[in-house]
């Protein structure tokens, strides 16, 4: 009995495949909806995943246990001309630093950053990038390592050494294929030219699909880091910046502060206390406070919502493909009514007819799903290569897309198959 059933199923499968083979173009056109639907699901989700990974990478670089405070020029500040060089005083002060370091609980460390120069020169090559004074803990706090040499040390700070660690693009622009370690560069500011020995080169920081962004708004690849104590001694708090037709003299004690919290659970409460410290000590809005942990939670929620939205939009393509399959199969049932009547007259049962038509739809949707997976993967790769958008194809997206394509074939093929099986054999034989 089981052998007979196997033979019937094998014959039904052969009949279904043979009918698809006899109508190659129609079968291809029917499967196109599934192919493009699956490809759309994979491609759109891979773009979303790539964008999310970039955002997560940036937040990881910022550090989820950090609170970042930046000095900001107040709105309405007028830039001075060459003749009138008024002193602009704003931003984070020494009093803010002491309050944050000594009065707020759960603060592990407060790391200062101070921009002291805006141009760097080596021999005849010059680039207008920032020179930043900071402490040795900065590199560990923001998870930045060196590709060559070393980072700044406590000895550099205590001995007021004129040494520096340079970003990846600084090395490329100023030194080319030379070894920068041990060589000198000159930082240009309103105080003149100051020499610094290169002791380390930072690894290239790549976020948002390109190395153009680093920690927050700054580009670490284009910055030079010197000991904070050296920066304070050589430059003081007043910096001068000359641009076309104007000159700025600014008194900024700290460009930025990185407040490191002892535990991730305390980050949000501590960030509120940090904001209150600045609100109390500043009459004008000359600061901003950024919390990477809050950005992380927002990014995670955004990632979930984006996946649901893109999955829903791409899923509509699969439904449209399924409707196309149903439409073609209903037309096929009408076209093959006489064949169905002959099969029923020769002893075929309703379930045999149902299985024959259902096999055709499942084969169409399965083949369409496999081709769609390949097409979506190739499309994601091409977008990554030519549009320079990072795309990540997760294995689960391929599995889910293929499963959905098969389910769509079964769901939308069931009605035509059952309609074929319910045809009256006598009426079907009379059909012309």
* Rg for the chain, CA atoms, rounded: 34
* pLDDT tens-place string over residues 380-398: 888 888 876 778 888 888 8
* pLDDT tens-place string over residues 182-221: 999 999 887 788 999 999 999 987 654 444 444 555 688 8
More confident residue, 232 or 326: 232
pLDDT for the residue 180: 94
Residue 110: strand, helix, or coil = strand
* pLDDT tens-place string over residues 287-300: 899 888 777 777 77
Per-residue pLDDT band at 286 (split at 50, 70, 90): confident
DSSP 188-257: EETTEEEEEEEEEEEPPP-BTTBTT--STTS-GGG-EEEEHHHHHHHH-SEEEEEETTEEEEEE-SBSEE
* pLDDT tens-place string over residues 242-261: 655 566 778 888 999 999 88
Residues 254 and 92: beta-carbon distance below 8 Å: yes
* pLDDT tens-place string over residues 151-180: 999 999 999 999 999 999 999 999 988 999
Nearest to 372 by CA among 414, 326, 412, 322: 322
Residues 151 and 124: beta-carbon distance below 8 Å: no
For CA atoms 256, 94, 262, 145, the dihedral sign is positive
Distances 330 to 34, 341, 357 between C-alpha atoms, Å: 17, 16, 10
For CA atoms 10, 11, 14, 15, the dihedral sign is negative
Distances 418 to 235, 346, 427 between C-alpha atoms, Å: 85, 19, 16
Beta bridge partners of 254: 92
Nearest to 62 by CA among 141, 136, 134: 141
pLDDT for the residue 229: 93
Residues 50 and 392: beta-carbon distance below 8 Å: yes
Going from N- to C-terminal start, the domains of the chain cover 2-58+299-430, 73-285
pTM, 2 dp:
0.64
**What is the share, in percent, of the chain residues with pLDDT greater than 70?**
81
pLDDT for the residue 212: 40
* Token pair 């930082």: residue: 187
More confident residue, 13 or 363: 363
- According to DSSP, the β-strands at 246-251 and 87-89 are parallel
């Amino acid at each position: 009995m089981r052998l007979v059933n196997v033979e019937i199923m094998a014959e039904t499968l052969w009949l279904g495949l043979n009918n698809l083979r006899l109508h190659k173009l129609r079968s291809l056109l029917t499967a196109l909806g599934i192919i493009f639907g699956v490809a759309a699901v994979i491609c759109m989700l891979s773009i979303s995943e790539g964008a999310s990974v970039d955002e997560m990478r940036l937040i990881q670089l910022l550090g989820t246990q950090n609170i970042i405070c930046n000095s900001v020029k107040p709105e309405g500040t007028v830039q001075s001309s060459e003749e009138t060089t008024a002193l602009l005083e704003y931003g984070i002060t020494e009093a803010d630093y002491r309050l944050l370091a000594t009065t707020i609980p759960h603060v592990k460390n407060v790391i200062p950053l101070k921009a002291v120069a805006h141009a760097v020169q080596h021999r005849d090559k010059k680039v207008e990038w920032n020179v930043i004074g900071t402490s040795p803990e900065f590199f560990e706090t923001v998870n930045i390592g060196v590709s060559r040499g070393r980072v700044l040390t406590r000895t550099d700070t205590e001995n007021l050494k004129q040494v520096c660690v340079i970003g990846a693009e600084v090395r490329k622009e100023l030194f080319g294929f030379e070894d920068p370690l041990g060589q000198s560069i000159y930082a240009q500011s309103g105080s003149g030219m100051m020499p610094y020995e290169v002791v380390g080169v930072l690894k290239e920081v790549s976020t948002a699909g390109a190395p153009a962004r680093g920690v927050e708004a700054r580009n670490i690849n284009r910055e030079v880091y010197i000991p904070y104590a050296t920066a304070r001694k050589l430059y003081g708090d007043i910096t001068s910046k000359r641009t076309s037709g104007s000159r700025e003299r600014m008194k900024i004690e700290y460009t930025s502060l990185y407040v490191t919290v002892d535990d991730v659970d305390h980050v949000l409460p501590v960030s509120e206390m940090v904001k209150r410290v600045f609100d109390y000590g500043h009459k004008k809005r000359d600061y901003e406070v950024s919390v990477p942990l809050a950005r992380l939670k927002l990014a995670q929620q955004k990632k979930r919502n984006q996946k649901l939205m893109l999955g829903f939009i791409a899923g509509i393509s699969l439904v449209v493909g399924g409707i196309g399959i149903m439409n073609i199969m209903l037309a096929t049932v009408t076209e093959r009514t006489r064949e169905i009547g002959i099969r029923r007259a020769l002893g075929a049962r309703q379930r045999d007819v149902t299985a024959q038509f259902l096999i055709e739809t499942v084969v169409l949707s399965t083949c369409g799903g496999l081709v769609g997976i390949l097409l979506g993967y190739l499309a994601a790769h091409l977008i990554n290569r030519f549009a320079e958008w990072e795309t990540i194809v997760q294995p689960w997206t391929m599995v889910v897309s293929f499963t959905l394509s098969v389910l769509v074939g079964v769901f939308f093929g069931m009605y035509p198959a059952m309609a074929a099986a319910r045809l009256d054999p006598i009426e079907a034989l009379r059909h012309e």
